[in-house]
Amino acid sequence: MKNARPLPSYLVQRYHGWRATTHAENKAWYRRLADEGQRPRAMIISCCDSRIHVTSIFGADEGEFFIHRNIAGLVPPYAPDGDHHGTSAAVEYAVTVLKVANLLVVGHSNCGGVRGCHDMCAGLAPQLEEKTSFIGRWMDLLRPSYERQAGIADESERLRAMEKEAVLVSIENLMTFPFVQAAVEAESLTLHGLWNDIGEGVVECYDPETGKFMPV
Ligand SMILES: [Zn+2]
């Protein structure tokens, strides 16, 4: 395995800092996490974007959130076809094994994945149309949203509408998983759609009464 190299020094330093402070001061807590296993209350699905920091936003400690991140924070529809489905596996584990009480889908402003879908559908990113583009094929999940929002003249408003619709598409897709549907119907699981404005630091939550995202 010659391609796995030693850790870069900037990360080694940060690790030693963490071990000497945070870990050293909370040793019993880490020991208990290891011994008792995880019992997270919520699952969070968000974008890979490095600016999205759900553990900071919600002030979370280790063991509190079961987190899955992918491009644009999307959930695909239920497809038991024997293929490799990372997101679906994470949802299955969170709902059927960990039995989380809340599942949050977190979209965000300035999302590059959503921008990619927008540009692909607008004919501006032919490379994403290639069969070999993993990003393009993943963002196909959001293609219908482009059609629905195409009437919005202002591009940044159109992108924002697509970012929020991506959250709702994911929640709709979550409900196609039989175990998610069963847990929601049994009221042991609630689904929540959020959107985070990076620059403003605002988090909005989808309100089913108004059909809009409202500041929390
Ligand atoms: Zn993103």
Please give the Cα distance from 86 to 64 (Å, whole number).
21
pLDDT for res 5? 96
CA of 116 to the centre of ligand 1 (A): 10
CATH 1.10.10.60 for domain 37-213, yes or no, is no
Domains of the chain, by residue range, sit at: 1-36, 37-213
164: exposed, middle or buried (Cβ count in 10 Å: 0-12, 13-18, 19+): buried
Q: Is 205 annotated as a binding residue?
A: no
pLDDT digits (tens, 9 = 90+) for 73-112: 999 999 999 999 999 999 999 999 999 999 999 999 999 9
CA of 142 to the centre of ligand 1 (A): 13
Give the pTM: 0.95
Please give the Cα distance from 53 to 49 (Å, whole number).
9
- Cβ atoms within 10 A of the Cβ of 170, count? 26
CA of 111 to the centre of ligand 1 (A): 4
Are 157 and 60 within 8 A, CB to CB?
no
pLDDT digits (tens, 9 = 90+) for 152-196: 999 999 999 999 999 999 999 999 999 999 999 999 999 999 999
pLDDT for res 112? 98
